[in-house]
Amino acid sequence: MPTRSKITVIEDAESLRNLLQSSSNLKVKLKIRSLIVLQSNTYKRQKDIANHLGIGYSTIKSWYKNYSENGIDAFLEIKEKGKPKSLIPKEVHEALKQKVNNSKNPLLGYWDAVAWIRKEFSLELKYATVRKYLITNFGTKLKAPRKSHYKKDEQAIEAFFKTT
């Protein structure tokens, strides 16, 4: 025979309904609904509550544990996941920007970029990290034609145009 859930809801039903109406986050609303269902005693087991709400049993279990240990404020708090910090500092970004746009002394590939960062800034970065960073921030491609050849002799060009 299933045992009844041992967690007691401290808040009254009216305050829970007010919280439900005032919240805009769907996850918070689902958490409040789970407390309302638990308080109404319509289901005997947490597994039945989870099935009723359409979420996993382990999720309900962890929510109720959080509620019983920390209270309603911590229970309803949702920790936002932010954008991860970049591994590449601003000064390296600026130097890469100049290096990528330099047609006289360019980077010869992504491995060259990794070696250049290691040499200039003593920063160990993986190839995939540098490659993705260069593609997303500077639009680099592995095989892209250059506007002019990096070994081009400017004096030879002037002499060519003078004779024609």
39-79 per-position pLDDT tens digit:
888 888 889 999 999 999 999 999 999 999 998 898 888 87
Q: Is residue 155 part of a domain?
A: yes
Q: Is the pLDDT of residue 122 over 90?
A: yes
Host domain of residue 103: 83-164
Residue that terminates a domain, selected from 61, 76, 91: 76
State if pTM tops 0.85.
no
Q: Is residue 4 part of a domain?
A: no
15-28 per-position pLDDT tens digit:
999 999 998 889 99
Which is more confident, 145 or 130?
Answer: 130
Residue that terminates a domain, selected from 76, 98, 113: 76
The answer to whether 52 and 43 are in contact (CB under 8 A) is yes
User: Tell me, what's the pLDDT at 3?
Assistant: 58
Same domain as 94, residue 63: no
Q: What are phi and psi of 6, to 5 degrees?
A: -90, 0
For residue 159, what pLDDT band results from cuts at 50, 70 and 90? confident
Residues with Cβ within 8 Å of 9's Cβ and at least 6 positions away in sequence, in order, are: 16, 35, 38, 39
**Which amino acid type is present at position 150?**
Y
CA angle 134/138/142 to nearest 5° reads 55
Residue 15 tokens, joined: 């305050």
Which is more confident, 70 or 106?
Answer: 70
Same domain as 71, residue 34: yes
The structural domain count of the chain equals 2
Same domain as 72, residue 42: yes
Q: For residues 35 and 19, what is the distance between their CA atoms, to the nearest angstrom?
A: 11
